[in-house]
Amino acid sequence: MTPTISRLALAALALTASILSAQPALAAVACGSGNFDAWLADFKTDAAAKGISQQAIAAGLAGVTLDQGVLNRDKSQKVFTQTFEEFSGRMVPPRMTRGSNMMKQYGSVLSRIEQTYGVPGEVLVAIWGLETDFGVNTGKFATIRSLATLAYDCRRSEQFRAELLDALRIVQRGDLAPGDMKGAWAGELGQTQFMPSSWMKYAVDFDGNGKRDLLHNAPDVLASTANYLAGYGWQKGKDWQPGAPNFAVLQQWNKSEVYSKTIAYFATQLARAP
């Protein structure tokens, strides 16, 4: 949202007042300052001020160090250049048989999820297969360490600082222990690769065991993915092909048109499978 002139003026007055104030203040440790430990200590203070418990902070951030490998991956990302034909041809055929089996294995769960959230099982199983091979490859990076590294780095510091706070909230809520939080290098967690902010907003305990577990619990994984899509406006009973109302929702899952088209294509193939 673009701030109004009056709000900008108020911000300027506040800034002037702070400059003129005689009260000394300790500046926050800057991102990329060359002192990760000092930055982390400052972050812990901020996390506590935002209502995160000392227990969650201590458990989540104990022994956390900078991961240069994560920084190297972040700075060497290549532009996605595969065509839809190339990407879908590589990703979908090897996953069709397993996807069809998953549709059968979790048929009753997927039916209840569709009744609750309006999202068909084919779409959820397609996402599940494309993201992690149905939970086989969820990633081995320590999530909190990855997020702390990316929050300290100055490229997208605020974005990852917010994600790190939400990772600690996941710990505080009791969904996962810090040692169990392993995933992709940029902090995605679980069998359909939720960022911590999405986990906090959309993760559900679908099987009623008292925990939202998107790492090990398939009903929670599938229902949470449906809840995410419903949260972005999925329309029950509407098509998901490019140009249809629900394709725009798939693009909220992944903004790459090639990836979104591949989800749609895979889901359609699963719907037609015997």
Q: Say which of 114, 131, 163, 188 is annotated catalytic.
A: 131
User: Which pair of structure tokens corresponds to residue 45?
Assistant: 């203070």
CA 23 to the chain's CA centroid: 40
CA neighbor of 175 nearest in space, from 47, 66, 60: 60
Q: Are 117 and 227 in contact (CB under 8 A)?
A: yes
158 part of the active site: no
| Nearest-angstrom CA–CA distance, 125 and 131 | 10
- Triad 264, 267, 269: Cα angle to 5°: 110
Amino acid (1-letter code) at residue 45: T
Q: Are 93 and 265 in contact (CB under 8 A)?
A: no
Q: At what angle do helices 157-173 and 54-61 cross, to 10 degrees?
A: 110
| Nearest-angstrom CA–CA distance, 103 and 84 | 24
Q: Which residues pair with 183 in a beta bridge?
A: 141, 189
Q: How many CB atoms lie within 10 A of CB 240?
A: 26
| Burial (CB count within 10 angstroms: exposed 0-12, middle 13-18, buried 19+), residue 173 | middle
Residues forming the active site: 131
